[in-house]
């Protein structure tokens, strides 16, 4: 297939789209599927097949619509009418929707209000296709403008031009550290040596994070396109996507997508009849958090034990099997097609001075609208949590937001108006991380939260370096002493010393950031620690203290 052939496919699909005045999109991301989206889809299809079909009706399984707690979600698109979204859709409701479509009077029950604030305040770029395309049909992606960026890169641009656009976009890595993507691409492009690789990090191990999973499940071609463009830009012909083993649906959708792309000459030998070839293979992780660290991930792909190694040398010069390797996160690649399509400068208009574009967040915890959102960088936490997230349920009050998972920190209410970008979050002792955002109300104990994350790091430490392996064990023990009421002030000193040592001396990012939850809760909620230690009392009432010495009253 040539670039012109692809244009023909796109035109044909768009015509078919235009001819179908009505689409019923069921969210078929893992969240909605687990609450019964499969049965809803069956009911739609059965009722449509039973003759209640209106001409031009299409039923599609689409990517994550975001409002996960209200799943299964069903969205109705009709030409010339506003979209209607149903929450908690049931098979009966689905059947009623199909039956009533021809008269244009849709059932009222379970309809979300038009312009629901959850959707109104978002700015989808990475998630632009959610709800619009069927995640298992490449033609839908193509019709929505997919693979146009690859076409453009292949036919109108040189690798340098592509890199220049990525640099101009100001895009920074979405995997956590925020390293400038354009700089990384140009480093790999300049690295000497044949047989370069492009790797996509889809290990997503932070507790509470599901951004990458949703992108892979809902719009796998977007990641494939981003990787192919990266391969073209840096001079690699082989790509790997390393997906965590807990994401079987993402893996199967990716495999379907790769096969479809190969069949249309968008992957494989001589892409779009140009001299550029690029293959992608899927590699599946076995459930170790540390395998998200880039050098451990590379070792894992090589078939070795997933343990990190000292950097330098960085993967850009010495990566997979010793070859120059570009490694980026899922969301980073997913940003590439729009950057190439509309130009880096246009992308850079979104966001803040040093953090460009949008960021996808996974909202979890004590928040009304649990789910997936995408907002421009620089949106305040208050907007995210209260306007989009709907605030705190059960009439409770906001206590802290945890960003960055086990490498991140807790942000107290006094910083709710902070514009969220890489520097701002780092400035108050947290990190952007990959986009997990866990909201906590006044029933959460910050010492207990720190203990939870320390337990996670202790269990996920690979064991290679002593500070991380043994330091997390001791920090966890000290936190346990506090939460069970047997700690003394000396334990706090030991904890703070260990936190500093483990941060400074650990081999990889896991250990270097493992103490962040402790340090940030100490910074913002020190009084809670003191209550546990001096008074053997948990102000939030979370920690049971059976071993606590009698309190002097």
Ligand X SMILES: Cc1cc2nc3c(=O)[nH]c(=O)nc-3n(C[C@H](O)[C@H](O)[C@H](O)COP(=O)(O)O)c2cc1C
Q: Which residues bind ligand X (CB under 6 A)?
A: 173-177, 179, 201, 203-205, 289-290, 292-294, 327-329, 332, 434, 508-510
**Strand ranges inside 131-252, DSSP E:** 196-202, 236-243
C-beta of 193 vs 287, nearer to another protein: 287
Q: How far is the CB of 312 from another protein (least distance, A)?
A: 9
Q: How far is the CB of 552 from ligand X (least distance, A)?
A: 44
Q: How far is the CB of 181 from another protein (least distance, A)?
A: 23
C-beta of 273 vs 459, nearer to another protein: 459
C-beta of 63 vs 182, nearer to ligand X: 182
Q: How far is the CB of 542 from another protein (least distance, A)?
A: 23
Distance CA 474, CA 452 (A): 14
Distance CA 389, CA 373 (A): 9
**Residue 463 contact partner, candidates another protein, ligand X, none, CB within 5 to 8 A by sort of partner:** another protein
Q: Which residues pair with 26 in a beta bridge?
A: 61, 74
Q: How far is the CB of 513 from ligand X (least distance, A)?
A: 7
Q: Which residues bind another protein (CB under 8 A)?
A: 288, 290, 305, 307, 309-310, 458-467, 469-474, 477, 494, 497-498, 501, 504-507
Distance CA 26, CA 95 (A): 13
Q: How far is the CB of 463 from another protein (least distance, A)?
A: 3
HEC string of 277-325 equals CEEEEEEECCCCHHHHCHHHHHHHHCCCCCCCCCCCCCCCCCCHHHCCE
**Residue 474 contact partner, candidates ligand X, another protein, none, CB within 5 to 8 A by sort of partner:** another protein
CA atoms within 13 A on the CB side of 135: 32
**Strand ranges inside 485-528, DSSP E:** none
3-class state of residue 373 by DSSP: strand
DSSP state letter for 275: S
**Residue 323 contact partner, candidates another protein, ligand X, none, CB within 5 to 8 A by sort of partner:** none
Q: How far is the CB of 322 from another protein (least distance, A)?
A: 14
**Residue 293 contact partner, candidates ligand X, another protein, none, CB within 5 to 8 A by sort of partner:** ligand X
Q: How far is the CB of 166 from ligand X (least distance, A)?
A: 11
**Residue 279 contact partner, candidates ligand X, another protein, none, CB within 5 to 8 A by sort of partner:** none
In the numeric block, which tokens belong to residue 17? 């789209």
C-beta of 24 vs 510, nearer to another protein: 510
- Strands lying side by side in the sheet with 196-202: 279-284, 236-243, 196-202, 325-329
Contacting residues for 181 by C-beta, under 8 A, at least 6 apart: 166, 169, 171, 172, 173, 328, 332
C-beta of 72 vs 205, nearer to ligand X: 205
DSSP state letter for 21: -
**Residue 459 contact partner, candidates ligand X, another protein, none, CB within 5 to 8 A by sort of partner:** another protein
Distance CA 101, CA 57 (A): 9
Distance CA 66, CA 31 (A): 10
**Residue 41 contact partner, candidates another protein, ligand X, none, CB within 5 to 8 A by sort of partner:** none
**Residue 329 contact partner, candidates another protein, ligand X, none, CB within 5 to 8 A by sort of partner:** ligand X
C-beta of 98 vs 230, nearer to ligand X: 230
């Amino acid at each position: 297939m040539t670039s012109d052939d692809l244009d023909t496919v796109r035109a044909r699909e768009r015509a078919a789209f235009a001819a179908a005045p009505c689409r019923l999109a069921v969210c078929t991301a893992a969240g909605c599927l687990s609450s019964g989206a499969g049965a809803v889809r069956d009911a739609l299809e059965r009722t449509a097949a039973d003759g209640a079909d209106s001409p031009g009706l299409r039923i599609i399984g689409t990517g994550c619509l975001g409002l996960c707690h209200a799943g299964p979600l069903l969205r109705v698109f009709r030409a010339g009418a506003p979209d209607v979204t149903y929450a908690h859709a049931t098979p009966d409701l689905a059947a009623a929707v199909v039956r009533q479509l021809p008269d244009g009077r849709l059932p009222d029950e379970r309809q979300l209000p038009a312009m629901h604030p959850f959707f109104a305040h978002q700015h989808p770029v990475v998630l632009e296709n959610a709800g619009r395309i069927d995640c298992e049909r490449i033609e839908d992606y193509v019709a929505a403008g997919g693979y146009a960026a690859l076409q453009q890169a292949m036919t109108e641009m040189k690798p340098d031009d592509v890199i220049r656009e990525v640099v101009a976009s100001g895009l920074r890595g979405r995997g956590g550290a925020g390293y400038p993507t354009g700089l990384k691409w140009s480093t790999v492009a300049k690295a000497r040596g044949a047989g370069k690789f492009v790797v996509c990090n889809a290990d997503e191990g932070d507790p509470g994070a599901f951004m990458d999973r949703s992108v892979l499940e809902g719009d796998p071609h977007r990641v494939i396109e981003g990787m192919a463009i990266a391969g073209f830009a840096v001079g690699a012909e082989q790509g790997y996507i390393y997906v965590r083993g807990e994401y079987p649906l993402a893996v199967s959708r990716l495999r379907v997508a790769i096969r479809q792309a190969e069949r249309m000459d968008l992957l494989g030998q001589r892409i779009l009849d140009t001299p550029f070839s690029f293959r992608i293979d899927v590699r599946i992780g076995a459930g170790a958090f540390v395998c998200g660290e880039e050098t451990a991930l590379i070792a894992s792909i090589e078939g070795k034990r997933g343990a990190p190694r000292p950097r330098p040398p960085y993967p850009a010069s010495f990566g997979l099997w010793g070859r120059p390797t570009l490694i980026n996160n899922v969301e980073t690649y997913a940003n590439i097609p729009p950057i190439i399509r509309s130009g880096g400068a246009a992308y850079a208009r979104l966001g803040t001075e040093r953090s460009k574009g949008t960021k996808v967040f996974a909202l979890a915890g004590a928040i009304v609208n649990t789910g997936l959102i995408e907002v421009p960088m620089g949106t305040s936490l208050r907007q995210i949590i209260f306007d989009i997230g709907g605030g705190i349920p059960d009439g409770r009050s906001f206590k802290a937001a945890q960003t960055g998972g086990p490498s991140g920190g807790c942000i107290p209410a006094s910083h709710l108006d902070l514009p969220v970008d890489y520097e701002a979050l780092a400035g108050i002792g947290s990190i952007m991380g990959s986009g997990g955002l866990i909201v906590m109300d006044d029933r959460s104990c910050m010492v207990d939260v720190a203990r939870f994350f320390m337990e996670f790091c202790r269990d996920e430490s690979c064991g290679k370096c002593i500070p991380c392996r043994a330091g997390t064990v001791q920090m966890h023990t000290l936190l346990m002493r506090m939460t069970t009421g047997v700690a003394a002030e000396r334990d706090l000193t030991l904890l703070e010393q260990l936190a500093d040592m483990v941060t400074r001396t650990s081999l990889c990012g896991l250990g270097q950031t493992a103490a962040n939850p402790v340090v940030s809760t100490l910074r913002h909620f020190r009084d809670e620690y003191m209550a546990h230690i001096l008074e053997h009392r948990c102000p939030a009432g979370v920690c049971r203290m059976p071993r606590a010495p009698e309190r002097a009253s």
